Amino acid sequence: MTASTKNTTTVEADRNLPTIKIVREFDAPRERVHRAWTDPELVPQWLGPHGTTIELLTWDIRTGGSYRYSATDCDGNKVYFFGSFHEIRADRLVQTFTFEGYPDGVSLDTLTLEELDGGRTRATILSLVENLQTRDMILASGMAKGVTEGYEKLDQLL
């Protein structure tokens, strides 16, 4: 493991498929990345947009389980997310993801954890939604601080 390695995140939005693919490598073995992704004490420490506080309300992480959490921003605005854990494996986590403010925009998220040389891990998250319009809305919102606030900022851009 080289300490100087800079792991960068890539995001790919397919032109013809309603998907978002995120790829990122980590300087940690797969078991550890898996634990950070699933342990209810660790997840709130990194999940969610910058400046938000994540509270896990339900976290039944097993194949067939479910989750729900809230995200509170620095102004006290609270939004909720929920979904099902479809399958939890050492190398693959499949779950649904819904923002409660946009209930029709359910996403099927597949996280693949790939072991790399030097005790490193490559994480690939493939999110699939119903259509391109929904995918673009998710990209546009950045899924940050709730979709509504994202639109307000977009309004200013336009």
Phi/psi at 33 (5° precision): -65, -40
Which residue lies nearer to another protein by CB, 103 or 158? 158
Paired tokens of 154: 């977009």
Counting contacts by CB under 8 A, is residue 71 touching another protein?
no
Closest distance between another protein and the C-beta of residue 3, in Å?
10
- Please identify which residue in 19, 65, 98, 112 interacts with another protein, judged by CB under 8 A: 65
How far separated are the first and last CA of the chain, in Å rounded? 44
For residues 19 to 58, the per-residue mask of contacts with another protein, x marking binding by CB under 8 A and - elsewhere, is -x-x-x-xxx--xxxxxx-xxxxx--xxxxxx-----xxx
Asked if 33 contacts 123 with a C-beta cutoff of 8 angstroms, the reply is: yes
Closest distance between another protein and the C-beta of residue 11, in Å?
4
Q: Which of residues 107-146 bind another protein (CB under 8 A)?
A: 131-133, 136-137, 139-140, 142-144
Cβ-based burial of 48 (10 A; exposed 0-12, middle 13-18, buried ≥19): buried
